[in-house]
Amino acid sequence: MTQFKSVAIVGGTHGNEFTGIYLLKKWQQQIAEVSRPSFNTELVFANPRAHAENKRYCDQDLNRQFSEADLANPTLTGYEQSRAKAINQQLGPKGDARIDFIIDLHTTTSNMGATLLLLQQGEVYNKLAAYVQQQMPEVIVIRDDDHLAQADHRLLATLGKFGVIVEVGPVPQSVLRADVYQQSEQMTQHILDFLELWNKQQLPSLPSDIDAYRYTESLTLPLDDQGNRLGMVHPHVQDSDFNALEPGAPLFQCFDGTVMTYQGESIVYPGFVNEAAYYDNNLALSLHEKVTIKVSE
Ligand SMILES: [Zn+2]
């Protein structure tokens, strides 16, 4: 049976997401808070240069550099591409990683609340999600591209044998909010507790299934032929992460006064609504479908 012997908590993968960085600073002084008897915990500050420059990244988004192909590609030499290779040496190598479980701490400017992003499927993740939600009922569970092979995933958390993303918002970039900080800390503590209980085979009884959201696609802002923005997220959708969006409902408010509606054929659930970090790609929001995770067969 899987045993977790080494755990890494990663903060500052995005240099302007302060919450994880300040949690790391705290735990560096108080390592006992994130230690458990059955495993070793390491703290990793992933992108110190971007943080020093008060940016998400310097050259490339660090959290898109961890596919096995890219890690093995010597022609990728930007700062974050090199940083990814260094982190791969430190915690990996991906595919045969020294670290059993990675917790990567992120924040969002969107009104998503406390979310747990699962990037792979399986018993560990299903039970982890059920346990975290049992301890912290406000947590929303997202299955994000969990159909991809781990080797092809580009996210840092997929570098370990197992890994998840803790994503909490809303909080502006380069800002601390006590509620977001506390939720991030609380969720991390529950994940560590789960790993300890798993190792000791002392998990409490868990629900047989839980609700989750599965990422399906991203929608871009309306653009003209030259790539100029024609509108913004409609107030009906703004701050309404994980509220049902029905076909024909308002989606974008255009500068010329018109409203663009959602053209899909079924009810979807938006997330990362108007996320500031996605403006460089003109991404307006992600869409999810509601799914059930079977916790026990
Ligand atoms: Zn992030």
* Span 127-156, pLDDT tens digits: 999 999 999 999 999 999 999 999 999 999
Q: In angstroms, what is the span from residue 170 Cα to ligand 1's centroid?
A: 12
Q: In angstroms, what is the span from residue 112 Cα to ligand 1's centroid?
A: 13
The pLDDT, as a whole number, for residue 32 is 97
| Burial (0-12, 13-18, 19+ Cβ within 10 Å), 60 | middle
Can you tell me the distance from the alpha carbon of 190 to that of 166, in angstroms, rounded to the nearest whole number?
11
User: Which residues make up each annotated binding site for Zn(2+)?
Assistant: 14, 17, 106
Q: Which of 167, 185, 196, 275 is catalytic?
A: 167
* Span 150-184, pLDDT tens digits: 999 999 999 999 999 999 999 999 999 999 999 99
Q: In angstroms, what is the span from residue 245 Cα to ligand 1's centroid?
A: 25
- The pLDDT of 62-77, averaged and rounded, is 98
Relative to beta strand 269-271, strand 259-261 is unpaired
Can you tell me the distance from the alpha carbon of 213 to that of 115, in angstroms, rounded to the nearest whole number?
10
Task: Specify whether 217 is catalytic.
Answer: no
pTM score: 0.97
User: What percent of the chain is modeled with pLDDT above 90?
Assistant: 99
Q: Does residue 93 have a cis peptide bond before it, meaning omega lies within 30 degrees of 0?
A: yes
The pLDDT, as a whole number, for residue 120 is 96
Q: Which two tokens stand for residue 259?
A: 């409203």
Can you tell me the distance from the alpha carbon of 285 to that of 214, in angstroms, rounded to the nearest whole number?
14
H helical segments located in the chain: 18-29, 48-52, 68-71, 79-91, 123-135, 178-199
- 82, 120, 281 from 79: Cα distances, Å: 5, 27, 20
Q: Is the pLDDT of residue 90 over 90?
A: yes
Relative to beta strand 113-118, strand 140-143 is parallel
Residue 174: which region, alpha, beta or left (left: phi > 0; alpha: psi -120 to 50)? left
Q: In angstroms, what is the span from residue 125 Cα to ligand 1's centroid?
A: 21
* Span 212-253, pLDDT tens digits: 999 999 999 999 999 999 999 999 999 999 999 999 999 999
Q: Is the pLDDT of residue 297 over 80?
A: no
